[in-house]
Amino acid sequence: MGQVIRLVFPLDTNILIGYLNDDKKVVDQLLVWRETGKRFFISVITEVELLSFPFLTVEEIAKIKQFLQEFTIIPLDTQLARLAAEIRRKCKTKLGDSVVIATAKLTNSVLVSLDKDVIKKAGTMIKVQSISG
């Protein structure tokens, strides 16, 4: 019997925000991908970004922490930091975007993002997919 290969996607922060805000196109697409065996992970920077909004209530923080338990979170180590720095220098991306792009590059996977700037800048280095409505 052949081994089942599951595609793994790193998700940009805006995808998780869309999901948490019940964005229909994001929720529907993630459900379809999950049903077809795709797995998702996030960069540790996504965890920081989701939990750092100053207007979050204690209940919302608890909900986000619970939600984050569904993902494998890729930690920031020296190899990832150096790759993110290189991407930031070359592409002039924001720090968070650089780490997310570097995570996809390091894991040789397709980054899922709604950010047109990330898609444009990262598209020269990695495979990027958006969720269209």
Domain with 91 in it: what CATH number? 3.40.50.1010
Cβ atoms of residues 104 and 41 within 8 Å? no
Cβ atoms of residues 118 and 128 within 8 Å? yes
Q: What is the pTM of this model?
A: 0.86
Q: 56 lies in a domain?
A: yes
CA 39 to chain centroid, in Å, comes to: 12
Query: Tens-digit pLDDT profile for the chain (133 aa)?
Result: 444 444 578 999 999 999 999 999 999 999 998 888 888 899 999 999 999 999 999 999 999 999 999 899 999 999 999 999 999 999 999 999 999 999 999 988 899 999 999 999 888 889 898 887 5
Give the domain range for residue 75: 8-129
